[in-house]
Amino acid sequence: MPNLSFAGLLDGGWRQLAFEHFRDGITVHWLLRGGPVEPSVAILNYQPGAGVPRHRHVGLETIVVIEGIQSDENGEYAAGSVILNPVGTEHSVWTEKGCVVLIQWDLPVIILGEEK
């Protein structure tokens, strides 16, 4: 398979992408959709107040905040932030005013808690 290239995503080009439902208040555009044992890369668009309940990472997750602010128990991450969630870490994620992130995960997470 040739490498994949996505020009202009960080400069607002993500707005031209087609999104689908991912979770309540969150839509997704898959850049590379893996499977249960394969990495995935996506753009997630969180509506104001949306979040993901407490979950455990069984593979490395890398997040780049493109717009807005994403929060977890460790802090708030504004546009331009890079967050690494190594294997074994746990947290929940939310946004007060909405955000857009580029996310890569080696393996799907295990949801531990109820919706926030």
What is the count of structural domains for the chain?
A: 1
Kindly list the distances between the CA atom of residue 58 and the CA atoms of 19, 27, 111, in Å, as whole numbers in the listed order: 26, 23, 11
Residue 1 lies in a domain: no
Residue 73 lies in a domain: yes
How does residue 24 score in pLDDT terms, banded at 50, 70 and 90?
Answer: very high
The single residue listed with the structure tokens 């890369």 is 41
pLDDT of 44 = 98
For the ranges 4-8, 17-21, 49-53, the lowest mean pLDDT is seen at: 4-8
Q: Model pTM?
A: 0.93
Kindly list the distances between the CA atom of residue 78 and the CA atoms of 19, 24, 58, in Å, as whole numbers in the listed order: 22, 22, 25
pLDDT of 2 = 77
> Where is 26: in which H helix or E strand?
strand 26-32
Domain housing 81: 20-111
Residue 11 lies in a domain: no
Residue-wise pLDDT for 28-87, tens only, equals: 999 999 988 899 999 999 999 999 999 999 999 999 999 999 999 999 999 999 999 999
CATH number for the domain spanning 78: value is 2.60.120.10
Residue 84 lies in a domain: yes
Task: List, in sequence order, every residue forming a beta bridge with 111; answer none if it has no partner.
Answer: 55
**Chain CA centroid to CA 14, Å:** 14
Residue 87 lies in a domain: yes
Residue 17: is its pLDDT beyond 90? yes
For residues 98 and 48, is the Cβ–Cβ distance under 8 A?
A: yes
SS (H, E, C) 76-98: EEECCCEEEECCCCEEEEECCCC
Residue 26: is its pLDDT beyond 70? yes
Residue 107: is its pLDDT beyond 80? yes
Pairing mode of beta strands 51-56, 61-72: unpaired
